[in-house]
């Protein structure tokens, strides 16, 4: 059996402090916002997996189609011995790359969700006995320190998660990814593409209401962790397409005028009837924009692959 290590790179109270700081800042801003990373407790990670199976949610199927077709090319181009995956979740699609990388020594899944990392790691170790799996419970936006493992290194960032960062955050994030790489190492990046508004909005507002439950889960997390008294039923899920920014925005709209208490922050927050709080952006990309952002971070775009429907892109870029 291969080794399976789980390392928490931040002390537990650092996560608490980060949640407190984000909630305080977000709920006292105008308009109110909450960052998407707090969706993902065990329940949130499970809800996200259900989203990936919804008929309306095409990105996972489209990205899987590309990975199935291109995993051999990715392996040949990178020859990676260490695969680091940021925001790895279930690692389900990553299997195609792991299987193609015959010389792979260590897989390093990185996620804020401990439950997702544990489940994914345990599933993997039985299948690849020669592979070391070193999971990191960590925030990929905050000074990631990777274990010392053999190169070449391939960093994968799949699922379109890059789109959850705002443009300035994306630039800082890509620069930090570049700093994890040596010349010749590579980044495999999944980006959802701009397309018809109806298709985009339905992907984030499914008929079964799974995305609505996922969106409201952030309120449940804040209730549990900070003793707040959010009533998720008093908020409505909203998904809209912002044409100027080319991103989907998920919001929670207060159904009535209400005051929510957050005792751990000594805070009472008033919501007007109809007031909307942003909980996620999901930017959609065009090829030129992705190339420009990668180049600005010191990454040389080498391959661009899309699914047959042209809905989603996977790019491979190399550290200069």
Ligand X SMILES: C[S@@+](CC[C@H](N)C(=O)[O-])C[C@H]1O[C@@H](n2cnc3c(N)ncnc32)[C@H](O)[C@@H]1O
Reduced to 3 states, what is the DSSP secondary structure of residue 231? coil
Q: Indicate if the alpha-carbon torsion angle 141, 147, 153, 154 is positive or negative.
A: negative
88 lies in the site for ligand X, by CB under 6 A: yes
Q: Which one, 271 or 284, has the nearer CB to ligand X?
A: 284
Instruction: Tell me which residue has its CB nearest to ligand X.
Output: 159
Q: Which residues of 104-126 are buried (b: 16+ CB within 10 A; e: fewer)?
A: bebbbbbbbbbebbebbbeebbe
Name the one range near ligand X by CB under 6 A: 83-91, 101-109, 270-278, 300-308: 83-91
Q: Helix 12-27 and helix 210-226: axis angle, to 10°?
A: 110
Query: How many CB atoms within 10 Å of residue 214?
Result: 25
Contacts of 82 (CB under 8 A, 6+ apart): 104, 105, 106, 107, 108, 149, 150, 151, 152, 153, 154
271 lies in the site for ligand X, by CB under 6 A: no
Closest CA to 218 of 235, 240, 241, 200: 235
Q: Which one, 249 or 275, has the nearer CB to ligand X?
A: 249
User: Secondary structure of 257-295 in the HEC alphabet?
Assistant: CEEEEEHHHCEEEEECCCCEEEEEEEECECHHHHHHHHH
Q: Which one, 254 or 317, has the nearer CB to ligand X?
A: 317
Q: Which residue in the set 41, 111, 132, 192 belongs to the binding site for ligand X (CB under 6 A)? A: 111
Q: Which one, 141 or 149, has the nearer CB to ligand X?
A: 141
Min separation Cβ 251 and ligand X, Å: 17
Q: 6 to 45, contacts with ligand X by CB under 6 A?
A: 37, 40, 45
Reduced to 3 states, what is the DSSP secondary structure of residue 226? helix
Contacts of 243 (CB under 8 A, 6+ apart): 197
67 lies in the site for ligand X, by CB under 6 A: no
Q: Which residue in the set 26, 87, 121, 152 belongs to the binding site for ligand X (CB under 6 A)? A: 87
Min separation Cβ 224 and ligand X, Å: 16
Both structure tokens of 132:
């070391």
- In a 13 Å sphere around the CA of 217, the CA atoms on its Cβ side amount to 21
Using CB under 6 A, count the residues that bind ligand X. 21
Name the one range near ligand X by CB under 6 A: 6-14, 139-147, 174-182, 219-227: 139-147
140 lies in the site for ligand X, by CB under 6 A: yes
Name the one range near ligand X by CB under 6 A: 112-120, 175-183, 215-223, 235-243: 112-120
Q: 147 to 176, contacts with ligand X by CB under 6 A?
A: 158-159, 161
Min separation Cβ 160 and ligand X, Å: 7
Q: Which one, 106 or 113, has the nearer CB to ligand X?
A: 113
Binding site for ligand X (CB under 6 A): 37, 40, 45, 48, 52, 60, 87-89, 93, 110-113, 116, 139-141, 158-159, 161
């Amino acid at each position: 059996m291969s080794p399976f290590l789980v390392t928490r790179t931040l002390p537990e109270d650092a996560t608490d402090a980060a949640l407190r700081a984000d909630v305080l800042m977000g709920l006292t801003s105008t308009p109110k916002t909450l960052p998407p990373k707090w969706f993902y407790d065990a329940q949130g990670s499970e809800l996200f997996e259900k989203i990936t199976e919804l008929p309306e949610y095409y990105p996972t199927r489209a990205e899987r189609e590309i990975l199935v077709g291109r995993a051999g090319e990715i392996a040949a181009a990178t020859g990676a011995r260490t695969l680091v995956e940021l925001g790895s979740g279930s690692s389900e699609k990553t299997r195609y790359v792991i299987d193609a990388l015959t010389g792979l020594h260590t897989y390093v899944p990185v996620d804020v969700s401990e439950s997702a990392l544990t489940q994914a790691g345990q599933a993997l170790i039985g299948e690849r006995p020669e592979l070391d799996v070193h999971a990191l419970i960590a925030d990929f936006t905050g000074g990631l320190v990777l274990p010392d493992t053999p190169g070449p290194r391939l960093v994968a960032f799949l699922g379109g998660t890059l789109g959850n960062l705002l443009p300035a955050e994306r630039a800082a994030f890509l620069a930090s990814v570049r700093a994890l790489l040596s010349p010749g190492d590579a980044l495999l990046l999944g980006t959802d593409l701009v397309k018809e508004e109806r298709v985009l909005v339905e992907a984030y507002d499914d008929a079964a209401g799974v995305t609505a439950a996922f969106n409201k889960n952030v309120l449940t997390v804040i209730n549990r962790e900070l003793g707040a008294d959010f009533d998720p039923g008093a908020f409505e899920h909203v998904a809209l397409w912002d044409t100027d920014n080319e991103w989907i925005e998920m919001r929670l709209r207060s159904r009535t005028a209400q005051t929510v208490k957050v005792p751990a922050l000594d805070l009472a927050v008033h919501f007007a009837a109809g007031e909307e709080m942003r909980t996620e952006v999901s930017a959609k990309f065009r090829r030129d924009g992705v190339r420009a952002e990668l180049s600005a971070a010191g990454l040389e775009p080498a391959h661009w692959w899309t699914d047959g429907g042209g809905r989603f892109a996977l790019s491979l870029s190399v550290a200069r």
